[in-house]
Amino acid sequence: MSDDEADPELLALLRQHFQGKLNLDEEPETGVLEGAEYVYDNSIDVALNMRATKNAAALIHEQMKRKEYSTESWSEHELHPKTKDESTVAFIFTMDLLNFSFWSLRPEDERFAVSYRDKTWTGYWSLVAALQRAQEEDIPITDPHYWQNEEECNLESLRHVFRSCTDEEIPLLEARLSCLREAGKVLYEKYNCSFTKCIEAANKSAAGLVNLLARDFDCFRDEFKFENRRKPIRFLKRAQILVADIWACFNGESYGEFRDIDKITMFADYRVPQILATLGCIGYSPPLQAMMVKGDIIESGSSYELQLRACSIWCVELLRREIKREHPEANINAILIDFFLYDTMKQLEAEGKETLPHHRTRSIWY
């Protein structure tokens, strides 16, 4: 669309206004799924295999049913919080504020890892372990007041919080400090230093809370320009997984009660696309495949990366639709499918059964 063409969405809005049909109280929408479908429809480097997706849906449903996979599965992990109160909300907010970029180019025994409770944790679990360890050491790592205290919360103190049992430091440490600083400032200025106030402001809408995060916190505004599309493509990975984690932790009650939780999509990272490719659901163009096999860096915001992330979101949506079509009674959504696929991929990694590498993009978005 050229700059002198009328915006069709604006025209529709004006038409509704003059016809007396404009509803300013419409339910919030994140726009993530809409953007993902647009990229999928225009993708030339990432494609979906519909037959493999259909077969994968049957396999995923069968395994999730057999393992009784549900929101209860979230709290069953030994590192996730077991309490259900405001301190739990603060922990989850901190966790997903910093939930990005754990991959390493080093061998497994040399990568960033956290030793906690007589175990060694890597990836996302290294973050959760480090936060739990910090709380046991009486470091107020989940307190926004602490994040704003430059004397107490700085690179040196964060290096201690995220100290590794190997020689590799946690990636993007300075960016993590910036995220804490920014979030502390926003919570102080707008939400009485408590993320529970954000939840209250969203009025039990998951999409509303995601939009609030993207609006008020720069570090949650995970969106990019794609080709000639007027609106940016929204991924909002950490904003969405934050809402999903609160929903799962509280089993859809109390702070986790959202009337529209099914509007949350899959969380576009690097692990779920990996298992979707392993299942044959996703395929890549030869140039993109070559980059991934060689372990080349795919730049954040590049066409390759946007196609990878968006097509993964759309693929999980098709998996969800197929499962619901075959099993209308299934209590399933994109969140639970994502959690299940991520856990399965990490299990394959631990067993040394990775058949395809994940793409390598270094950013704060995932």
Instruction: Name the residues annotated as catalytic.
Output: 269
272 to 125, 227, 336: CA distances (angstroms): 16, 24, 12
In whole angstroms, what is the distance from residue 234 CA to residue 196 CA?
24
Residue-wise over 251-289: b if at least 16 C-beta within 10 A, else e?
A: eeeebbebebbebbbbbbbbbbbbbbbbbebbbbeeebe
In whole angstroms, what is the distance from residue 30 CA to residue 32 CA?
5
H/E stretch holding 116 = strand 114-116
CB 334 within 8 A of CB 64: no
Name the residue with tokens 């939780």.
Answer: 261
Q: Pick from 43, 39, 42: which is nearest to 285 by CA?
A: 43
Cβ-based neighbours of 30, under 8 Å, separated by 6 or more: 207, 210, 211, 234, 236, 240, 263, 264, 265
CB 45 within 8 A of CB 226: no
